[in-house]
Structure 1
Amino acid sequence: MNVVMFSPHFPKNFQNFCLRLKAHGANVFGIADVSSELLEPSLQQSFTEYFQVSDLHNYDEILRICGYITYKYGKIDRIESHNEYWLEQDADLRTDFNVPGIKADDIAYYKKKSLMKELFRKAKVPHAKGKVVETIEDAQAFIEEVDYPVVVKPDIGVGAANTYRLDNSEQLVQFFATKDSREYIMEEFIEGGICSFDGLVDQDGNLVFYTGHQYSQGIMETVNEDRHVSYYSYRDLPEDLKTLGLRLLKSFKVRERFFHFEFFRTPKSKLLVLEVNMRPPGGLTMDMFNYACDIDLYDVWTRMLTNQLDGLDYERKYHCCYIGRKFKHSYRYSHENILEHYGSKIAYHEPINSIFGAALGDYGYLVRSESLEELQEVVNYIQDTTDDH
């Protein structure tokens, strides 16, 4: 099997996909914009060939490399990055080389929030009202329908980048006076918590693995208000979350992919879908899958891809929680205090890439426990500050 892995070194934990592919006998071809000498030795050794490009956005250059791979090694069987930023380019390459997976004709429904809402409606899944607003008049007409506050965000965007809550007409005018040229969607503001339905489906769209997570708050609040973030995995999923998640999987015809669906849960416990993402959830969430269940989803995905997977037995043994710290704060307890006090509960910890810092913090801990009460105790301990505010 010939697998092209695009930007295989980023993020760091996604390097495991290449290592597992190599271990299961696949030819792995890496394409990235960094010298091979700067890659982890284990990642270098996973490649049949590695290609450094001058610019990952240079489609012609990448097209020629894929042509060369096809000429030398035969048909490319899969092209993947597992990265939201490259989904569109991945789809274009699959289309040009007739490789299974999401193609160029389908990608808009997985990238544009406005088009997602069309499939939400068809699936009869509750969701926030929204409308693409090109002018302030468009926005004012929408606000007359839903009232303030509203949220504006790029129709194609990742995380909470350039996402704002507008509470009044002055903020609306300011937004249109300063916004960039991208297309923006405006949505009614939904008060509630954020939870997710996450997992992996096989080539026929059948669930291989699924779980869910509860977030301390939305990424918009985390970024714009510079808050700490934590989120934990469920051991028992709420039944309504599973029901709506499965409905979305069917509506979006998800095949052979990880997925990450985000929902609001209102104070009255109503679920509304926020958006769908056809890739593994970000940060260290893949590792949270593994630590919560004592499995290896990097390996499971590889065995599925190479037709070496005969079902998956797993149990959600623990809640696994991500706990982020931001270095701008003064913390009551040191890193050494944390390891001494809760070392038996900490499954993993590492510095977080600065690209994710606003959302996830500068340093992250993965903590697992059978008890939610114990997890919250650890969250409080790790994020306890001596800041005046």
Structure 2
Amino acid sequence: MNFVFVSPQFPHTYWQFCDRLRRRGVNVLGIGDTPYDQLDGRLRDALAEYYWVPSLQDYPSVFKAVAFFTYKYGKIDWIESNNEYWLAQDAALRTDFNVTTGPNAQEIRSLQSKADMKLGYRRAGVATARQIRLTTLETALDFVEGEAGIGWPAFAKPERGVGAGGVARIDGRADLERLLGEKGQTPYVLEEYVEGQIFSYDAILDSHCQPLFENMEEFPPSMARVATEGLDLWYCSLPTVDPILRQLGRATAWSLGLGRRFVHMEFFRLAHDKPGLGQRGDYVGLEVNVRPPGGYSPDMMNFAHSTDVYQIWADMVTLDRSTLPPSRDNHICVYAGRRDSHAYVHSHEDVIARYGDSIVMCERMPDALSNDMGNQMYTARLDSMQERDDFVRYVQERAD
């Protein structure tokens, strides 16, 4: 099997995807914009060959790399980055090289559309906020203020986007006019404003859309505020998956045909009753992402469940099943980030002295991830919600 892994060097822990494939006998071929001699040695060991391109955004150069691998090694079986930023390019390459083990260019366009995601949730019987594509002021005002309008505030976001970039709470006509004037040609959607905690259903799915691994994450109430207001991010992998969320996640995966993927589906859990959506505590579909959750979340899943999601994913690719037994050793794995722009009560040395035995990752975050995740991270494996809350509070207590 020939597997082309795009940008295997980022995030830096992604070398493990390549390593587990190699252990399964896969010929792993990397394409990236980091010079070969700067790659992690473990990644170099996992790759049969690496093709450097000056920029991964230059499609002709990446196409040329895949063509070279095809000439040298034969038909390519998989092309994947497991990275939101490159999903559309992955799909374009699959289309051009007739690789059928993942979404093609047309399919990924739909899967990345925040409007089409709503259709997938609805087919699965999952409640979701009312939404329209943002076109004209008149249409938007009718959607908000009309006889059956959603009312203010509303929420706007790019129809296709990465992370919380471009999102905005819309509190009235002036905000709407400002957004319409600033968004240019970027397609936007406008939707009902929902208050609640964000949870995710994460899974590695086989070719029949059946889960080989499942995980549940909890996030702050507003990731949009974290990014736009420079708040400190925390989130965690939980030891178990709520059976209701599991049912909704599985139904959504089936409705969208998400076979042979690592997926990350986001849901609100309503903070209060909302007519037309549900009662306090109900789950409401937010977004579907056909890749692993960002940052070092796969590693957090490993720590939370004492497992190896990289191996489970490689098993899915090569065997269409998992060779690892279900974990019986489950914990809470929590991420707490800090920003260089803030001062904190407790120093780095204080954090390590107090929580050193529980901390499983501690490092600077890449600039590409720092807007959402902060500049310095501490990730700990703990056994109770109280321990989690105390850890987050201690790490993020501000001095300014």
With the length of structure 2 as denominator, give the TM-score of the two structures. 0.93
1:317 maps to what in 2? 330
Q: How does 1:108-127 map onto structure 2 within 5 Å?
A: 108-127=109-128
Query: Equivalent residue of 2:8, what SS?
Result: coil
Query: Equivalent residue of 1:306, what SS?
Result: helix
Distance 2:223 2:388 in 1: 20
Q: How does 1:141-180 map onto structure 2 within 5 Å?
A: 141-144=142-145, 145-180=149-184
1:25 maps to what in 2? 25
**Alpha-carbon shift at residue 295 of structure 1 (Å):** 1.2
Q: Tell me, which stretches of 5 or more residues in structure 1 are unaligned?
A: none
Distance 2:201 2:117 in 1: 16
Query: Equivalent residue of 2:204, what SS?
Result: strand
2:185 maps to what in 1? 181
Query: Equivalent residue of 1:250, what SS?
Result: helix
1:211 maps to what in 2? 215
2:252 maps to what in 1? 248
**Alpha-carbon shift at residue 311 of structure 1 (Å):** 5.5
- Residue number among 271, 274, 290 corresponding to 2:302 in the alignment: 290
2:276 maps to what in 1? none
Query: For residues 108-146 of structure 1, what are the alpha-carbon distances to aligned partners after superposition, in whole Å with 9 as ceiling and x for unaligned?
Result: 221010111122222221001111112222221211211
Q: Is the CA contact 1:209–1:312 (under 8 Å) kept in the aligned structure 2?
A: no
Residue 309 of structure 2 is aligned to residue 300 of structure 1:
no
Query: Equivalent residue of 1:3, what SS?
Result: strand
**Alpha-carbon shift at residue 29 of structure 1 (Å):** 1.0
1:73 maps to what in 2? 73
Is the alpha carbon distance of 1:269 and 1:316 closer, same or farther for their aligned partners in structure 2, counting shifts above 3 Å? farther
Distance 2:329 2:266 in 1: 20
Q: CA RMSD in A?
A: 1.5
Q: Is the CA contact 2:240–2:330 (under 8 Å) kept in the aligned structure 1?
A: no
274-283 or 13-22: bigger deviation: 13-22
Q: How does 1:222-261 map onto structure 2 within 5 Å?
A: 222-261=226-265
1:91 maps to what in 2? 91
**Alpha-carbon shift at residue 42 of structure 1 (Å):** 2.2
Distance 1:70 1:178 in 2: 44
Residue 287 of structure 2 is aligned to residue 275 of structure 1:
yes
Query: Equivalent residue of 2:368, what SS?
Result: helix
**Alpha-carbon shift at residue 36 of structure 1 (Å):** 1.1
Q: Which amino acid aligns with 1:42?
A: R
1:37 maps to what in 2? 37
Query: Equivalent residue of 1:313, what SS?
Result: coil
Q: Give aligned pairs, total.
A: 387
**Alpha-carbon shift at residue 30 of structure 1 (Å):** 0.9
Q: Is the CA contact 1:228–1:383 (under 8 Å) kept in the aligned structure 2?
A: yes
Q: Is the CA contact 1:208–1:312 (under 8 Å) kept in the aligned structure 2?
A: no
135-144 or 367-376: bigger deviation: 135-144
2:363 maps to what in 1? 350
Query: For residues 64-109 of structure 1, what are the alpha-carbon distances to aligned partners after superposition, in whole Å with 9 as ceiling and x for unaligned?
Result: 3222212221211111100111111111211222221212231122
256-265 or 28-37: bigger deviation: 28-37
Q: Is the CA contact 2:9–2:34 (under 8 Å) kept in the aligned structure 1?
A: no
With the length of structure 1 as denominator, give the TM-score of the two structures. 0.95
Distance 2:54 2:243 in 1: 48
**Alpha-carbon shift at residue 44 of structure 1 (Å):** 2.2
**Alpha-carbon shift at residue 46 of structure 1 (Å):** 2.2
Query: Equivalent residue of 1:106, what SS?
Result: helix
Q: Percent identity?
A: 36
2:130 maps to what in 1? 129
Query: For residues 288-313 of structure 1, what are the alpha-carbon distances to aligned partners after superposition, in whole Å with 9 as ceiling and x for unaligned?
Result: 11001111111221132222843542
Q: Is the CA contact 1:108–1:115 (under 8 Å) kept in the aligned structure 2?
A: no
Q: Is the CA contact 2:164–2:227 (under 8 Å) kept in the aligned structure 1?
A: yes
Distance 2:92 2:358 in 1: 44
**Alpha-carbon shift at residue 238 of structure 1 (Å):** 2.1
Distance 2:127 2:83 in 1: 27
Distance 1:93 1:39 in 2: 24
Residue 385 of structure 2 is aligned to residue 385 of structure 1:
no
Query: For residues 301-331 of structure 1, what are the alpha-carbon distances to aligned partners after superposition, in whole Å with 9 as ceiling and x for unaligned?
Result: 1132222843542235101111111121111
Q: Tell me, which stretches of 5 or more residues in structure 2 are unaligned?
A: 272-279
1:374 maps to what in 2? 387
Is the alpha carbon distance of 1:13 and 1:105 closer, same or farther for their aligned partners in structure 2, counting shifts above 3 Å? same
Runs of at least 4 residues off by over 3 Å: 308-312
Distance 2:313 2:189 in 1: 34
Distance 2:105 2:229 in 1: 36
Q: Which amino acid aligns with 2:12?
A: K
Q: Which amino acid aligns with 1:102?
A: P
Q: Which amino acid aligns with 1:300?
A: I
Distance 1:317 1:164 in 2: 37
Distance 2:254 2:329 in 1: 24
Q: Which amino acid aligns with 1:138?
A: T
Distance 2:189 2:317 in 1: 36
315-324 or 56-65: bigger deviation: 56-65
